[in-house]
Structure 1
C-alpha cells in the first residue's frame, strides 16, 4: 500500500478524484465500487473485499457451533420479559 500522502479537493458536486498512485495501490479500475465510512474526523475508503475480510476477522474467534443470531434472539426475549415484569409492577 502506498504510504505517501495526497491532497485532494472536493469538487462542486462533491466529487473527489483518487490519485492514480492510490488507485494502483488498491488495484482499482474505473467503475469499481468502494465502501466509504467516517471514523471520527476521517473519511475511510475501502474495497468490498477488504470490508468483508475485516468483518470476518472480527468474528473469527467465535466457534462455528455458536449462533450469534440465536444468542441475540435469546437476549432480546430476556429483555422483553424484564420490561413486561417492570410494567406489571408499576
Structure 2
C-alpha cells in the first residue's frame, strides 16, 4: 500500500517518520536508511538491501570491463595521433 504522508524537518534537521510508514516498511529502531537525491530533486529513502538491489539492477547488461578497455584504447589512440 502506498500513500502520501506529511513530515516536518525539526530542530537539528531531524525528521520523524510516521509509525504507519515504519510499520509498513518494516523499519525498526536502528534501521539504517540511505537518502538518494534524484535528478528531478525528489528524494528516495532506501534500506541497504533496497539500495544494493537498485544498483545491481542498473548494472544488468553492462560490461564495465569492456567499456573501460574501450575508453582506454580510445585514449591511447588519441595520444598516439597527437605524437605523429
Specify if TM > 0.5.
Answer: yes
TM-score normalised by structure 2 residue count? 0.78
TM-score by length of 1: 0.74
Alignment length (residue pairs): 83
Deviations 1:13-55 (A, max 9, x none): 1111111111111101111101111112211101111122222
Gaps of 5+ in 1: none
Cα–Cα, structure 1 residues 69 and 77, in superposed 2: closer, same or farther, change >3 Å?
same
Greater share of helix residues, 1 or 2?
2
Partner of 2:83: 88
Instruction: Show structure 1 runs of 4+ deviating over 6 A.
Output: none
Alignment match, 1:77: 72
Aligned alpha-carbon RMSD (Å): 2.1
Stretches of structure 2 that go unaligned for 5 or more consecutive residues are: none
